[in-house]
Amino acid sequence: MTKATKPARRGTGPRGEHNREEFESLVTKAAEGLVRREGLRGLGMRRLASVIGYAPNSIYNGVGDLDAVVMRVNARTLERLHAALTGAIRPDAGPRDNALALADTYLAFVASDPQVWSLVFEHSLAPDSTFPDWYAAALAQATDLVDGVLEPLIPDASERRQAVATLWAGLHGLASLSTSNKLAVLTPEPPRDLARLLVGRFLRP
């Protein structure tokens, strides 16, 4: 007599309609939609539970607290960014051209979904909390891709790591000012032109 196969683990929702991965996806996409429409202030556990038709305790048990939900949304955003950046790289292009293409793509990505992207930087964990491995991996995907593009121009790994952080911070500042309509206070120049100037000057021999 063979041992009975254990049933797949079900989600914690009262109807048992989803396994854990499906339930996490349901919660993440619903939270992303709320943030896209209303920003971080529109995201609360009771509101999220109401949107998906489950009790708040189901989310706590199946995904975690609100910090965990936000990190799931942010990890999904970083994965989408990684896909967009990957599509911008041309194998036959030089590293500077690819770096400029990444800058263009980054600005376009942020402009297309500013509320969801801002959540990556607006949300803060408690001082004694740490990012889980799966979130660190999602962030590393995007930064490692930029690191690879810059490697021919900046061979030293430590200097390249600093360059990635510097360019990322600069582009984020431009994108944030642009999407909040505050860049015009500083200059009438389009953000894409400024981003290309920043990257081009930074990577100049």
pLDDT in tens, 73-126: 999 999 999 999 999 999 999 999 999 999 999 999 999 999 999 999 888 777
Strands (E) in 83-181, as ranges, are: none
- For the entire predicted model, the pTM comes to 0.84
What does the chain come to in residues?
205
| DSSP annotation of 19 | B
Contacts of 42 (CB under 8 A, 6+ apart): 34, 35
Q: How far apart are CA 81 and CA 139, in angstroms?
A: 10
**Displacement of CA 199 from its chain's centroid (Å):** 21
What burial class does residue 175 get, using C-beta atoms within 10 Å of its C-beta: 0-12 exposed, 13-18 middle, 19+ buried?
buried
- Residue 3: what pLDDT? 42
In 3-state terms, what secondary structure has residue 167?
helix
Tell me how far the alpha carbon of residue 193 is from its chain's centroid. 24
User: How far apart are the two ends of the chain, measured CA to CA in Å?
Assistant: 73
pLDDT tens digits, 125-159: 777 778 889 988 998 999 999 999 999 999 999 99
Residue 15: pLDDT band with limits 50, 70, 90: low
| Angle made by CA atoms 90, 111, 196, in degrees to the nearest 5 | 50
| Closest of 22, 20, 43, 23 to residue 32, by C-alpha | 43
Q: Look at the block and give the residue holding tokens 């910090």.
A: 67
Q: Average of pLDDT values for 13-37?
A: 84
- Residue 85 near residue 128, CB atoms below 8 Å: no
Q: What backbone phi and psi angles, to 5 degrees, belong to 10?
A: -95, 160
Partners of 19 in the β-ladder: 10
